[in-house]
A and B are shown apart, each in its own frame.
Chain A
Amino acid sequence: MISQDPPSSPWGQLRTGAARILRSSTFRLALLYVLLLSVSVAILLGFIYWSTAGYMDRQTTATIQAEIRGLAEQYRRRGLGGLTALITERVARDPVGASVYLLVDSDLARVVGNLDRWPQEMPDADGWIRFRLREWGPARAEEHEARAQVFALRGGLRLLVGRDVRDLEATRALILDALTWGLAITAALALLGGWLMSAGLVRRLESINQTSREIMAGDLSRRIPLSGSGDDFDQLAASLNAMLDRIEQLMASVRQVSDNIAHDLRTPLTRLRNKLELLSAELPASGRAADLAEETIGDAEEMLATFNALLRIARIESGSRRAAFAAVDLTPLVQDVVELYEPLAADREQQILYTSSGLGRVFGDRDLLFQALANLVDNAIKYTPPGGAIAIGLETLPGAGARVEVADNGPGIPVELREQVFRRFFRADHSRSTPGSGLGLSLVQAVIQLHHGSIALADHQPGLRVILRLGSGRSAE
Chain B
Amino acid sequence: MRILLVEDDRQMADYLYKALAESGAVVDQAANGREGLLLAASGDYDLLILDRMLPGLDGLGIVRTLRASGNQTPVLFLSALGEVDDRVEGLRAGGDDYLIKPFAFSELQARVEALLRRGSPDAPETRLRVADLEMDLLKREVSRAGKQILLQPREFRLLECLMRHAGQVVTRTMLLEQVWDYHFDPQTNVIDVHISRLRGKIDKEFDIQLLHTVRGAGYMLRAE
Contact = CB atoms under 8 A, between A and B. Distances in A.
B202 to A, nearest CB: 15
A274 interface: yes
Given A324-B84, A367-B182, A280 B103 contact: no
A266 B102 contact: yes
Given A374-B184, A378-B187, A343 B103 contact: no
A344 B102 contact: no
Contacts of B215: 280, 290, 294
B127 interface: no
A90 to B, nearest CB: 113
Given A336-B180, A343-B197, A436-B187, A320 B154 contact: no
Contacts of A382: 188
Interface string A309-321: 1001001000011
B194 interface: yes
Contacts of A379: 187
A68 B216 CA distance: 130
Contacts, number: 86
A321 B185 contact: no
A212 B141 CA distance: 61
B215 to A, nearest CB: 6
Given A339-B154, A378-B187, A365 B84 contact: yes
Interface in A376-391: 378-379, 381-382
Contacts of B85: 321, 323-324
A343 B182 contact: no
Task: Point out which of B182, B185, B194 has the most chain A C-beta atoms below 10 A from its C-beta.
Answer: B182
A459 B183 CA distance: 31
Given A277-B104, A297-B216, A436-B187, A366 B182 contact: yes
Contacts of B186: 340, 374, 378
Nearest to B101: A267
A402 B182 CA distance: 20
B187 A375 contact: yes
A321 B83 CA distance: 7
A274 B101 CA distance: 13
Contacts of B217: 277
Interface of A: 266-267, 269-271, 273-274, 277-278, 280, 290, 294, 297-298, 301, 305, 308-309, 312, 315, 320-321, 323-324, 336, 339-341, 343-344, 347, 365-368, 370-371, 374-375, 378-379, 381-382, 435-437, 440
Interface of B: 15, 19, 82-85, 101-106, 154, 180, 182-188, 190, 193-194, 197, 215-217
